[in-house]
């Protein structure tokens, strides 16, 4: 089995799917790429059994066959080659692989393709087409809020909800929550699933922005198809918490402030906060916002004032600065609103002005107790 391909083109395709490789496996075969050659096309597969990525590229070949090639070694060879034609010669009897290029050749041993796990084959009950721009935004706005507690697996992924009114993406770790909604796309019937973090990161790294993504799914798996890539992942099984129940409905105290000024001030003041709680206190009255943090263990403290627009009763509330800084860095609007009911209840962050009328973002952050 022989084939010829560009070293740079092959490297790009392998790098786009290499994130699906297992980082800690007891199955040595999962450390390989599966190559399936069929005349002038090769299909390449990487998997960790939970997440599988497949790519296709054109090659020059008059033969067909399959082989598993060591992923790490092949990637290192290609990374250190200038762009040039590479000839792969594969002995089907002993799985010897020879890669020839302009000034030399490399040899390695592959594995029998029959040892490689079979590709997931599922009957999908539902599908939807979305733009890569929409999916990229949804992932970028929610991924940071995903939980890490393996005891609560449903919160380690992003909830994707499709309905006749909109599509909604939700992530929470019980301390912060993000709900990203788009009303410019919908489905005929309502359905939902929970996507794990790994495939979300792989999608984030491979979406370019202009393409259309076809999402097909059932109760156990979802497939994303775009460009020359296919990503298949196992969904998180379980019922997602009722996130709507934790979003306060009455929030009469509303702070409007310039996002970049608030973001930078928070970052500076939080440097002087307690290294365990990262607590920053906000004191709002009229057109002034005060930020205060202290670390009594080291006699550190910082205090800053910002001009703002505040409608409501004078209030003092404290937050962990880390999620607050993350939220402000992800939002892109000039000004944000922080809506609150009382110091012991969650604050809601929303953009003051919506750049896209079909996009609705809500971020919730839980307060922390102010020491007295």
CA distance 39 to 57: 11
The pLDDT, as a whole number, for residue 372 is 63
Residues 274 and 362 in one domain: yes
Query: Phi and psi for 208 in degrees, rounded to 5?
Result: -100, -20
Read off the CATH number of the domain in which 151 is found.
3.10.150.10
The pLDDT, as a whole number, for residue 22 is 86
316 pLDDT more than 90: yes
Pick from 68, 87, 115: which residue ends a domain?
115
Reduce the secondary structure of 273-309 to three states and give it as a string: CCCCCCEEEEEEECCEEEEEEEECCCCEEEEEEEECE
* Residue 323, domain member (yes or no): yes
Residues 133 and 236 in one domain: yes
Please check whether residue 337 is in contact with residue 331, taking contact to mean a CB–CB distance below 8 angstroms: no
* Residue 121, domain member (yes or no): no
Residues 224 and 157 in one domain: yes
Whether this model's pTM surpasses 0.85 = yes
32 pLDDT more than 90: yes
- Looking at the structure of the chain, the number of domains it has is 3
Residues 285 and 191 in one domain: no
122 pLDDT more than 90: no
Percent of the chain scored above 90 by pLDDT? 90
The pLDDT, as a whole number, for residue 161 is 97
Please check whether residue 106 is in contact with residue 77, taking contact to mean a CB–CB distance below 8 angstroms: yes
Residues 239 and 254 in one domain: no
Cβ neighbours of residue 121 under 8 Å, at least 6 residues apart? none
CA distance 283 to 370: 12
Question: pLDDT for 157-185, tens place per residue?
Answer: 999 999 999 999 999 999 999 999 999 99
The pLDDT, as a whole number, for residue 261 is 97
* Residue 351, domain member (yes or no): yes
Residues 303 and 319 in one domain: yes
Token pair 């392998």 is found at 14
Pick from 201, 227, 244: which residue ends a domain?
244
33 pLDDT more than 90: yes
Residues 276 and 313 in one domain: yes
Pick from 244, 270, 288: which residue ends a domain?
244
Question: pLDDT for 16-26, tens place per residue?
Answer: 999 999 887 78
CA atoms within 13 Å, Cβ hemisphere of 173: 15
371 pLDDT more than 90: no
Other C-beta atoms within 10 Å of 103: how many?
8
pLDDT band at 141 (very low <50, low <70, confident <90, very high): very high
The pLDDT, as a whole number, for residue 170 is 98
Percent of the chain scored above 70 by pLDDT? 99
**Inter-CA distances, 205 with 11, 200, 216, 231, Å:** 15, 9, 20, 12
Residues 67 and 151 in one domain: no
Query: Phi and psi for 177 in degrees, rounded to 5?
Result: -150, 140
* Residue 120, domain member (yes or no): no
Rounded mean pLDDT, 328-335: 95
* Residue 355, domain member (yes or no): yes
Give the tokens for residue 125. 């009950």
Residues 97 and 163 in one domain: no
* Residue 72, domain member (yes or no): yes
DSSP characters over 310-330:
EESS-EEEEEEHHHHHHHHHH
* Residue 228, domain member (yes or no): yes
**By residue range, what is the domain housing residue 194?**
126-175+183-244
Residues 144 and 105 in one domain: no
- Three-state SS for 19? helix
Residues 27 and 92 in one domain: yes
Rounded mean pLDDT, 217-234: 95
The pLDDT, as a whole number, for residue 26 is 81
* Residue 273, domain member (yes or no): yes
Residues 134 and 240 in one domain: yes
Closest CA to 251 of 353, 342, 366: 342
């Amino acid at each position: 089995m022989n084939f010829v391909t560009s070293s740079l083109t092959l490297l790009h395709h392998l790098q786009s799917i290499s994130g699906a490789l297992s980082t800690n496996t007891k199955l040595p075969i999962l450390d390989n790429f599966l190559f399936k050659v069929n005349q002038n096309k090769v299909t390449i597969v990487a998997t960790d059994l939970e997440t599988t990525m497949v790519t296709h590229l054109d090659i020059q070949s008059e033969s067909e066959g399959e082989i598993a090639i060591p992923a790490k070694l092949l990637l290192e060879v290609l990374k250190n080659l200038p762009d040039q034609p590479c000839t792969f010669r594969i002995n089907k009897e002993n799985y010897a692989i020879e890669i020839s290029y302009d000034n030399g050749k490399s040899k390695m041993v592959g594995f029998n393709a029959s040892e490689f796990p079979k590709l997931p084959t599922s009957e999908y009950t539902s599908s939807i087409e979305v733009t890569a721009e929409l999916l990229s935004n949804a992932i970028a706005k929610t991924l940071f809020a995903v939980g890490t507690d393996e005891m609560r697996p449903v919160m380690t992924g992003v909830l994707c909800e499709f309905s006749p009114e909109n599509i909604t993406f939700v992530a929470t770790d019980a301390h912060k929550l993000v709900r990203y909604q788009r009303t410019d796309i919908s489905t005929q019937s309502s359905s939902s699933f929970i996507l794990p973090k790994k495939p979300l990161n792989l999608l984030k790294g491979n979406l370019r922005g202009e393409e259309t993504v076809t999402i097909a799914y059932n109760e156990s798996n979802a497939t994303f198809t775009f460009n020359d890539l296919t990503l298949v992942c196992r969904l998180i099984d379980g019922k997602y918490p009722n996130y709507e129940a934790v979003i306060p409905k009455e929030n009469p105290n509303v702070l409007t402030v310039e996002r970049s000024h608030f973001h930078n001030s928070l970052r500076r003041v939080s440097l002087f906060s307690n290294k365990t709680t990262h607590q920053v206190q906000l004191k709002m009255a009229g057109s002034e916002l005060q930020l205060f943090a202290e670390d009594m263990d080291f006699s550190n403290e910082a205090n800053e004032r910002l001009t703002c627009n505040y409608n409501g009763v004078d209030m003092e509330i404290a937050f962990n600065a880390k999620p607050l800084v993350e939220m402000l860095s992800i939002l892109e609007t000039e000004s944000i609103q922080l809506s609150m009911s009382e110091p012991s209840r969650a604050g809601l962050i929303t953009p003051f002005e919506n750049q896209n009328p079909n996009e609705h973002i809500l971020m919730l952050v839980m307060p922390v107790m102010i020491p007295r």
